[in-house]
Structure 1
Amino acid sequence: MLARILIIEDNPANLELMSYLLGAFGYSPRTAIDGGEGLRAASSEAFDLIICDIHLPHTDGYEVARRLKADPVRRTVPLIAVTALAMVGDRDRVLAAGFDGYIAKPIDPETFVRQVEAFLWPNKRTHAPAPPVPVVVSSARAAPRYTVLVVDNLPVNLDLARCILEPHGYRVVTAGDAEEGLAAARAQACDLVLSDVCMAGGTGYDFIKLVKADPRLAPIPFVFITSTMLNEADRAIGLGLGAARYLFRPIEPDALLVEIESCLAEAERFARGNDSDR
């Protein structure tokens, strides 16, 4: 079954164009012309993805994002901002508000559907999207040094992790939720777990409890990365459950690599009995 997509947009021309493009690829999008109507639609139906403008009457896109990400049922639904904002820092502000992605206006009809489909699981797409552009460039791919298990309910985040880690010699194993992640961790040896916090079928907090309760998995460094649980109280919860790091998106690829390398180095020192805290 193809994805159910909600478009929240007050500009009739933009709404018609996005609806037409998605319809041309077999989707039947539901539309809303303001934030309040969009929130009512999202609460009454199950969607696989929501596209939302930032500048909306009555309830703007930031408020829509805040309410959706505060809803335990709907916070895992991918939320994409479509906006003409173009100032320095606007993209980071949109992602920090809770949006999972950002498409700039005016949209490009030739790439729009592929951009949207990057946030969908393959069985919800009409066709596979173009491969994402690597964010880290390497002249040669080294043999895998470590295996990293990445657990996230958004395909685009899984793809991004591959693009960042694989060129630097990591083998990447992926899972879409806590249950899949636990099965993957038990099925094959991994050196580090990188997990989202808000996921369908159990949160990252549920996942880490299961990992730390398994004597074979407990020593594996566990790193949280999130774009929705963004305050220090959330960080304290994650670290208190045994996470080695609690990272906030957006994060620069180089910064993520540094954190992962540090965690792996700490784990190796501990395994050798040379950890400074021992």
Structure 2
Amino acid sequence: MPAHILIIEDNRANLELMSYLLGAFGYDPHTAGDGATGVEIARERPFDLIVCDIHMPGVDGYEVARRLKADPVLRAVPLVAVTALAMVGDRDRVLAAGFDGYIAKPIDPETFVVRVEEYLRHEHRTAAAHARAAPAAANKPTNGLTILVVDNLSVNRDLACSILEPHGYRVLTADGVDQGLAVARGHACDLILSDVCMTGESGYDFIRAVKADGRLAAIPFVFITSTMLEENDRVTGLCLGAARFLCRPIEPDALLAELEACLRAAGRLALGDDSDR
């Protein structure tokens, strides 16, 4: 039976990343977007581990720890902080507050699950996570396709990599329009996955530049956004030449299916090839 892990985090991108990584390796993640809700959920059912952000509005991580450790039932549940530890003395304060340990931000998809396992009882650790702990970079599957991910948030780029790479894609990343264009012009890309709202120029500016470049115009272009959710936003993106306009949050399998459909439509993925999915 998989370990039940509660994640308390107010940043949706970080919440999605941690939840996806734990679920991908056989764990049963439950989520809460704020401290008060997290404490309520923790009291509703048993958990094998609780992972909690420190800096949250309202009930912050320290208050969550105080409430959980004051509960005679919940105090025995391992409690792990996720924090940037930006200030001198933060580490000591985290441990003094009742946390059993901490995982540093930004979240590293390659090591996060292994770090979480350090606080789980041995019988609750999954075989899949054990296998991931061994170096396996050289054995990653490949389907020969390259996807360029453009997003100004590193956590979104990391999440995309953690979804795409295990299914055989080579992933290139860029943090903005200028870097995205440079990468696209310097490497053969089979698809571009881009955020809409980015620092400086937007994803709309990016697709205009891509479609205006004869070398890049034929590359399937997909938007993904958590902020541009109105119908007119979708219509704008599609009218500029995007093959898809996706909204976060999106399940990993749904994202993979959308990208595979675009690749097939462009003749870059053979019919019946599901990219090892």
Classify the TM-score, shorter chain.
0.5 to 0.7
**Residue in structure 1 matched with residue 35 of structure 2 by the alignment:** 83
**Residue 131 of structure 1 pairs with residue 111 of structure 2:** yes
Please name the residue that 1:220 is paired with: 219
| Change beyond 3 A, Cα 1:186–1:117 | same
What's 2:193 paired with?
A: 194
Per the alignment, do residues 269 and 231 of structure 1 end up closer, same or farther by CA in structure 2, a change over 3 Å counting? Answer: same
Shift in alpha-carbon separation, 1:242–1:116, aligned structure 2, 3 A:
farther
Residues 68-125 of structure 1: per-residue CA shift (max 9 Å, x gap):
xxxxxxxxxxxxx64332589xxxxxxxxxxxxx978526664233778328xxxxxx
State the alpha-carbon separation in 2 of the partners of residues 193 and 154 from structure 1.
16
Q: TM-score, normalised by structure 2?
A: 0.54
Aligned to 1:210: 209
Q: Which amino acid aligns with 1:117?
A: K
Structure 2 residue identity aligned to 1:252: E
* Map of 2:153 onto structure 1: 154
CA distance in 2, matches of 1:52, 1:258: 28
Which residue matches 2:82? 111
Cα gap change, 1:235/1:269 in structure 2, threshold over 3 Å: closer, same or farther?
A: same
Q: Helix, strand or coil: the match of 1:118? A: coil
- CA 1:166/1:109 → structure 2, altered by over 3 Å: closer, same or farther? closer
Whole-angstrom CA distance in 1 between matches of 2:104 and 2:34: 10
Cα shift at 1:214: 0.3
The secondary structure found in structure 2 opposite 1:197 is coil
Distance (whole Å) between structure 1 residues aligned to residue 199 and residue 208 of structure 2: 16
Instruction: Please name the residue that 1:267 is paired with.
Output: 266
CA distance in 1, matches of 2:162, 2:110: 14
The AA in structure 2 aligned to 1:200 is T
Query: Identity over aligned residues, as a percent?
Result: 53
Please tell me whether the aligned partners of residues 118 and 129 of structure 1 are also in contact (alpha carbons under 8 angstroms). no
Counterpart-to-counterpart distance in 1, 2:195 and 2:149: 8
Give the match for residue 238 of structure 1. 237
CA distance 1:200–1:141, shift in 2 (3 Å): same
Contact 2:196 2:204 in 1 (8 A): yes
Query: What secondary structure, in the 3-state scheme, does the structure 1 residue paired with 2:152 have?
Result: coil
Q: CA deviation at 1:144?
A: 3.9
User: What is the Cα deviation at residue 195 of structure 1?
Assistant: 0.2
Report the equivalent of 1:169: 168
Q: Match of 2:174, as an amino acid?
A: A
User: Does structure 1 residue 185 correspond to structure 2 residue 184?
Assistant: yes
Instruction: Tell whether the 8 Å contact from 1:179 to 1:201 is kept in structure 2 after alignment.
Output: no
* TM-score (norm: length of structure 1): 0.54
**1:121-169 per-position Cα deviation (integer Å, ceiling 9, x unaligned):** xxxxxxx8973449x9999731242100000011111111110000000
Q: What are structure 1's unaligned runs of at least 5 residues?
A: 1-50, 54-80, 89-101, 120-127, 271-278
Output the CA distance in 1 between the equivalents of 2:225 and 2:113.
22
CA distance in 2, matches of 1:129, 1:82: 22
Q: How many residues align?
A: 172
What is the alpha-carbon distance in structure 2 between the residues aligned to residue 233 and residue 112 of structure 1? 37
Using the alignment, how far apart are the partners of 1:161 and 1:261 within structure 2?
Answer: 14
1:252 corresponds to 2:232: no
Q: Distance in 2 between matches of 1:52 and 1:161?
A: 20
For the 8 Å contact 2:225–2:247, the answer to whether it is kept is: yes
Q: How far apart, CA to CA, are the structure 2 residues paired with 1:172 and 1:269?
A: 15
Q: Which runs of 5+ in 2 are unaligned?
A: 1-8, 12-32, 42-54, 66-78, 86-102, 115-127, 133-138, 270-277
User: Does the C-alpha gap of structure 1 residues 129 and 240 become closer, same or farther in structure 2, counting only changes over 3 Å?
Assistant: closer
CA contact (8 A) 1:152 1:175 kept: yes
Q: Structure 1 residues 220, 133: CA separation in 2 closer, same or farther (over 3 Å shift)?
A: farther
Q: Name the CA shift for 1:52/1:170 in 2 (closer, same or farther; >3 Å).
A: closer
The RMSD of aligned alpha carbons is 3.5
Given the superposition, is the C-alpha separation of residues 253 and 186 from structure 1 closer, same or farther in structure 2, using an over 3 Å criterion?
same
